[in-house]
Amino acid sequence: MNRRRILNLACGFVLSLLLAVGCSQTTPETTEPQQTASPVSSTQQTELTVSAAASLTDAMNAIQPIYEQENPQVKLTYNLASSGSLQQQIEQGAPVDVFISAAPKQMNALEEKQLLLSGTRQDLLKNDMVLIVPKGENTVKTFEDLTTEQVEKIAVGEPESVPAGKYAQEVLTSLNLLETLQPKEVYAKDVRQVLTYVESGNVDAGIVYSSDAKISDQVEIVATAPAESHSPIIYPVAVIQSSKNPEVSKDFIQFLSGEQAKAVFEQYGFGILEK
């Protein structure tokens, strides 16, 4: 074997060796771990805002866990106040899905301004007006007894914004007592405040819904207003036009008309309007 051939073989061997060593020292390409998109939680809830008359407080609180257990994807949030105040909030753009008023007047006003979702309004409940006194008091037995000197203060809802106050004025007008009793009237921001005034003894008597009187063990019902002495006490319900959850809102109204909700409403003293 001549020298040139030996040299070529040697160079080839060295080159192969260098290539082999270089490949073994090359850092392998690293692959970034694939980022898996987090799945949307199946438990994500829809928040439904319900503005309801203050007189519905206890019944709505009792209905909430029943509804949410059957509809775990929905979270109810309540705004409870006088129907007039709730009406104004909705007119001013408050984010409300469902409105339950204690009288048609407030619902009519919203409907006239086209703030209700068409086809969703319906009458839900009915109620009665009663005269209450602090438990154990014997001064008042009838509406006429309110004119006596022993009675100095009578609590009623503010007639312009509180449906219970409007109904109370109708009752007193029908019984020819309004003019005599107006100087004794103490106005409250909602019917629950009327109840509180009577419970605390800050007033001698009050006029509230039957449903409110029945939840308190600190007052007594001494008289029920004649049905013909006031406008029918109707609670309408509707979905608000601006609701971001119209279908869920419709389902909630349907639930309120179902047997489970009816049983709760009756337990808290409301009458059920048959469809």
pLDDT tens for 2-37 read 444 444 444 454 444 444 444 344 444 444 444 433
Q: Which of 168, 152, 151 shows the shortest CA–CA distance to 160?
A: 168
pLDDT at res. 135: 96
Could you list the beta-strand ranges (E) of the chain: 46-53, 74-81, 98-100, 122-126, 129-134, 154-157, 185-188, 205-209, 219-224, 234-239, 271-272
pLDDT tens for 35-94 read 433 333 446 889 999 999 999 999 999 999 999 999 999 999 999 999 999 999 999 999
- Sign of torsion over alpha carbons 218, 166, 60, 49: negative
Question: Per CATH, the architecture of 129-229 is what?
Answer: 3-Layer(aba) Sandwich (3.40)
Please say whether the beta carbons of 223 and 117 come within 8 A.
Answer: no
Q: Tell me which of 225 and 42 has the higher pLDDT.
A: 225
Q: Which of 203, 234, 59, 60 shows the shortest CA–CA distance to 131?
A: 203
CATH superfamily, domain at 46-126+234-272: Periplasmic binding protein-like II (3.40.190.10)
Q: Taking the domains of the chain in order of start, what are their residue ranges?
A: 46-126+234-272, 129-229
pLDDT at res. 14: 43
**Do the strands 219-224 and 129-134 form a parallel or antiparallel pair, or are they unpaired?**
antiparallel
